[in-house]
Chains A and B, each alone.
Chain A
């Protein structure tokens, strides 16, 4: 492909691009091109720069004409324009500047980076606002901020970037999103190009198609009504810009991934020694005279590991491959005339998992086209499509990823994956063949393909009535299809007989399984809005009225079968073992009104309201009204400050209060009524079944009382904030304090005591409340030192859930109240025991006066935990529990990020840290209990433990360690205590990128417009307190069986044609 580009004044873009692109562009624009008008005037030359660096590709347009040009790699331009004309300088990422020519023939223009600037237009609900006029708590990110990290899902890219966002990557398997919340309020509403969308659609966006993201956190979100109570993430996709020269952009990267961390399993010697100790230590307690599992001589051979047959297997190494690839490629074309703008983009992401045959890929397309039909009417479409493909081996069990992780700590290190280490024969003689990783091969155990495809089409029409009145209609439909196919094969295991050198079948899996799921989601959104903008002298009014309705219907058909062989995926009736047919639907509508008023952009006021209806409530009770108000005062515009204090550029105080209604209750989307059709009486089908005289009858159950007395949960959000810009706009900051109060949370009115014998409980009523409170802030500093441009930003959020008032709480005792009251308390604390010491010896056990194990310490051994006897009753029991940590698995209460960048000549260095504190992780199961489920254990539990000097001599001396003595069965050390709970704080280097823009001369020689290359590292290191457990600080699964984040080394490029 050869590219030509003609520099200079031009009336229509003349270039030869790829034939396909030409066709596309040609088709769309053929009719439009003729409308360009040719202008002939005096030539004006000049240079555009930011501070001292030349800016290439800045569009320069003669205002109100179709004459434009762009700067070259040295920032130079020439344009023909009338001497009295005005030139408009624009470029993505910079503040658009208008310069009157005033008979000059040469211009030197300095552009200002638009990042965080007051003039930035940011997207708010159903429209845009200039940042300086925003009165709500809104954070904004550009596409560039998001694309800095090679994140697979959009949520990953937001971690640590702005204040108000809290994230936790509980499971970072290929293609997975991460837990993202705004101010820890719950799952937010995602709005993509104005259309409410779900988390999946957001996470699987083409990352290069994102123009910007706004986070609405307070009453500003309320305009989205009933789903916006947890905040709103607004995404706008890239649009072509009018009169922008056509360009084609190709970018991509290729990287190699490795785990950040995973617990190392014990080796054969540690394992067998642990087994011996376990029997010895268990016998000490129970008095049983069990045989030890191994002799001293044998154990020594395992320790040496040199004799044949005494080699240890490391299943972490066997299962997880190093350096697996992740790659991305995107191509886009964008441009526009004065009548039509377009942006077309296609991208493909491939990510392999560290487990063989597990991978993820995604293809995205985005097509945004807008056309001015007349001067008043503009129509447009945004069409986006994606295909996500998750391919895994068909490991038995519901989640294919689970068993490989289980295997690492479950396979005994004395067991080989293959019989006689011959990779043609799976070892069937293992303690559980389902966790033998030799079977995790798609040719052995089968495959799972989980393919989601989605297409969304938005059609918009904008009509300008003139005089500031505009109307907009939007219709959007999304069709999502899931195609899930799982085929688990049968396979044989083998044992090797060295005497005969033969392999014989032993064990294996004769449990074939086939599942097909076909699911469809059909979503519709329609919006109609009227906007009115008018300026009367110093007064500006902006009003919006709108109506919106949406619904979503989900259907799913499942079939399971017992396939007769490992080859034929088609299912036949005789082989079926089960089917299910699932249906679900919801519908909502709302009326929207908002008025913005400002006086000289000094006093700002916004009032809004929504009248929302949901299908969940009975007819006649469906609608609720939720208002909001916010105000801002730009103190720096006051005459006593304006231009009086040189270092103060801008200072604004804002406050907001808003309400939203909620018909869904928890993060899982549970309906407030508990059941989407709780208002319906009658009988539920498909409830249980019984066999009558040989025939299976599917059951029908009478329904409970219809729920008619519940109505909306009301969220009231209060926010007070301050925005400040100092030192010639070098330092910008924004700080907020906030609270969300939810009232009307369903609860039983339990002072009306319905006898249990009635057989049903009273339906819940809107009685309880809770709160979320917090503070957040961001501070950004940009400056230049020599020829180095640099910026550094820090942000932090502290947001915490607090239980509110409950309907007439009752407590049996003061302790009951202390332990179980959630009245006006920080919520979801982890309660457990406090370890105050260790038993040092059997004498210490005998002399200890507190009944530590509830069995007069007969089960205690040296090294066991002594729990704090909080109430001093000499018995350790539930009464001695106290708060020892935060909510487990939740997004962290405190999040912070540091983002920096520096550029020198063509080089840029970007660095992003993200961190969190006030989150808790509990080590349980495999990470706590030796030989859990008859498996192996992490090495540290079996190594750094209390034990006897000689495991074969029960009378030898005890040696101290970190973990308690290894034994079988439950023991008092497994109680939930602060030994097993870690309150995590971490700061990790999310991203380090070094990029280089090739100089203009080189680029020109290559016949292209611009080329940037970069190297990048993700998750290179972290400071945290989970290192010794070899656990990634963000995972939440208590046994550690989840995919930790990857360390990625990456090379990428960005090419503009």
Chain B
């Protein structure tokens, strides 16, 4: 009997250990609703999650590869991404965004904070204003891609009754969505706080959103109506009446002017070297009074953009680089400082011979300083290190009176040695290429400078870059103001703003005396390159289908510039530089933007789930 007792005790010992209920497991990573919404510090962490979810077509951390898919650049990185150079037509699902998971989470936070027992009224007011700004920004990202979308501003809760039809909301008119954004900004701008912050949204962030949104709405109203067949839907989900343009342009101009006059921002203009200054205008964080709102990064949350895109010879460790290779098309769009067309001069006026340059950089002399600030081109340096861009040599053959072109698969190779015993032992192919077929080296002859981090170690995998992504800056606000004023017929005001921007780029004061829409468009292209404006600008001006028309010319094709060193011993032209403009060898398909691309298609699942959602045109 004692033994049975012993066994019984032993059994109960290990079965009745301390847990009350063996199957109750408390997670160690989850907060309760009470904990979350009653502590302002935790609410800020919820905001941190929301800021990390703000959508972008591309940014330094999300989808930056798309920079290579238009006319600003091409793909020169990993060969498995070669398809980016071979997009015969943009898909209708491109740019699609139906971001209601984010909207729902914002609504959950709004309701949680509303119902909080311990947050103060001031705290609630500020948090709610910031949340409504984030919601408005998300709606702007949706409307610019999809046209009008359902405007949800409460939590939609399904009651599990089996009939969710009461939750079906129709798409708003395109104009209503823009109006909603304007109204939200107006009602929260004085509550949002965060004064002086350029990483959390404040009054001027909200106004910048309104300014951009109103400009988009204005140009959509104006230019869509000017199309031979305007893109519209009967319910107005797509297509804003031309009559609304003036109102939107006025709102855009007013928002811009409020930022300009009361925001205390100024164009970054501290470095006397105008090219470096323009680079710093985006790259410098400290003392940068131009940036209104940026997505910032810091130790613990760094990114690979510099690692992936730094010029080949500046790599610090050894995988990938040089993915985004700027196009010759963009380079040539930067004007000469005398205001003349920026096309590069590679051949004599009669086309009979090359133009011989003493230095590789001479061909770019006297260009808009923003070229230097945006692009690394032959003969320039980065991180105080010269970038060596030379495709090969042109060897003069006196027998045939022509040049033989020689290029190498080895970067930084010498024209000499076993392969070329008669070579002059000068540079054959530069350490930075360009190269026609290899990956991770520029295919165009250019590298990106804008947004590439100049800090040592920023391209190392173990260190990475904290370069921020600028969402709003004063330079854009000036151009927005200029465009809105111009559209409103106020050319003098427009000239005043655009010339301020040009002056910072190295042009003389009042360099533009007259203004055209083309000049404004051109100015935005060079000022805002690689800042995710190009697609949206071409769309709202309704010229994307003409600029990217799928033809084998113009902006539909990416061009490259290949520099060569001349080998012609005994001749004055020996060791000078000549340039070839070619279609970038890795580029395969001209870009083709179709009318159906002006609005993205709506996912079939979304249409199935809500019969009130109407399709966009052409889909």
Contacts and interface: CB of A to CB of B under 8 A. Distances in A.
Interface of A: 275, 278-279, 282, 286, 288, 290-291, 293, 298, 307-309, 374, 376-377, 396, 429, 431-434, 461, 463, 465, 471, 473, 475, 507, 509-513, 526, 528, 547, 549, 551, 560, 562, 577-578, 583, 585-589, 613-615, 619, 622, 676-677, 680-703, 752-760, 762, 855, 931-934, 968-970
A689 B103 contact: no
Given A589-B22, A753-B164, A693 B437 contact: no
B437 A432 contact: no
Contacts of B168: 755
A462 B223 CA distance: 88
B167 A511 contact: no
A703 B30 contact: yes
Interface of B: 3-4, 6-7, 10-11, 14-15, 21-25, 27-33, 35-36, 42, 44-53, 78-80, 82-83, 86, 88, 98, 100-105, 107-109, 112, 150, 152, 156-158, 162-164, 167-169, 197, 199-200, 295-301, 316-319, 405-407, 409-410, 418-419, 436-440, 460-463, 583, 585-586, 588, 603, 605-606, 608-610
B574 to A, nearest CB: 22
Contacts of A615: 23-25
B44 A697 contact: yes
B200 A693 contact: yes
A291 B610 contact: no
Given A690-B295, A702-B109, A758-B164, 10 more contacts: A307-B418, A510-B317, A677-B30, A690-B51, A690-B52, A690-B199, A691-B199, A697-B47, A759-B103, A759-B152
Contacts of B24: 587, 615, 619
Contacts of A681: 32-33
Nearest to B88: A855
B105 A702 contact: yes
A473 to B, nearest CB: 5
A581 to B, nearest CB: 9
5 contacts: A681-B33, A702-B112, A755-B167, A932-B80, A933-B439
Given A463-B7, A759-B101, A933-B78, A969 B33 contact: no
B317 A756 contact: no
B4 A583 contact: no
B79 A934 contact: yes
Closest 8 CB pairs of A and B: A759-B104, A699-B49, A511-B317, A688-B52, A691-B296, A697-B48, A690-B51, A755-B610
B46 A699 contact: yes
B52 A755 contact: no
B105 A692 contact: no
Contacts of B47: 690, 692, 697
A683 B113 CA distance: 14
Contacts of B409: 275, 293
Contacts of A677: 25, 27, 30
Contact of A697 (B10, B45, B88, B609): B45
B462 to A, nearest CB: 5
B35 A377 contact: no
Nearest to A301: B418
B200 A692 contact: yes
Nearest to B463: A562
Contact of A755 (B53, B156, B296): B156
Q: Which of B15, B167, B463 has the most CB of A within 10 A?
A: B15
A751 to B, nearest CB: 9
B7 A613 contact: no
B439 A692 contact: no
Contact of B298 (A551, A614, A683, A691): A691
A755 B108 CA distance: 17
Nearest to B608: A753
Contact of B167 (A275, A377, A754): A754
A562 B100 CA distance: 40
B295 to A, nearest CB: 8
B194 to A, nearest CB: 9
B356 to A, nearest CB: 21
Contacts, number: 275
B387 to A, nearest CB: 16
A756 B606 contact: yes
Contacts of A549: 15, 22
A578 B461 CA distance: 12
Q: Which of A279, A509, A702, A932 has the most CB of B within 10 A?
A: A702
B216 to A, nearest CB: 22
Nearest to B102: A759
Nearest to A462: B7
Contacts of B22: 549, 551, 587, 589
Contacts of B109: 702
A465 B4 CA distance: 9
A685 B41 CA distance: 13
Given A583-B28, A683-B31, A695 B15 contact: no
A791 B531 CA distance: 76
Contact of A754 (B7, B15, B25, B164): B164
Contacts of A308: 418
B460 A757 contact: no
A512 B162 CA distance: 58
A696 B27 contact: no
B3 A700 contact: no
A1006 B405 CA distance: 82
Contact of B462 (A511, A614, A687, A757): A511
A455 B206 CA distance: 60
A659 B102 CA distance: 42
Contacts of B586: 968-969
A339 B30 CA distance: 53
A288 to B, nearest CB: 6
Contacts of A431: 438
B7 A461 contact: yes
B105 A756 contact: no
A689 B300 contact: yes
B588 A286 contact: yes
Contacts of B319: 396, 432, 434
Nearest to B152: A757
A759 B149 CA distance: 13
Contacts of B33: 681-683
A681 B32 CA distance: 7
B45 A685 contact: yes
A753 B613 CA distance: 13
Contacts of A578: 300
Contacts of A396: 317, 319, 461
B14 A526 contact: yes
Given A291-B405, A549-B22, A762-B158, A696 B301 contact: yes
Contact of A692 (B11, B21, B101, B197): B197
Contacts of A701: 46, 49, 105
Given A757-B610, A758-B104, A511 B297 contact: no
Given A377-B3, A689-B300, A692-B197, A757 B45 contact: no
A712 B73 CA distance: 53
Contacts of A376: 3
A969 B81 CA distance: 10
B585 A288 contact: yes
B27 A680 contact: yes
Contacts of B588: 286, 969
A806 B531 CA distance: 47
A78 B44 CA distance: 88
Contacts of B295: 690-691
Given A690-B48, A700-B48, A759-B104, A684 B7 contact: no
Given A562-B463, A934-B79, A689 B585 contact: no
B27 A692 contact: no
B440 A691 contact: no
Contacts of A934: 79, 438-440
Contacts of A680: 27, 30
A288 B586 CA distance: 10
Contacts of A588: 23
A577 B197 contact: no
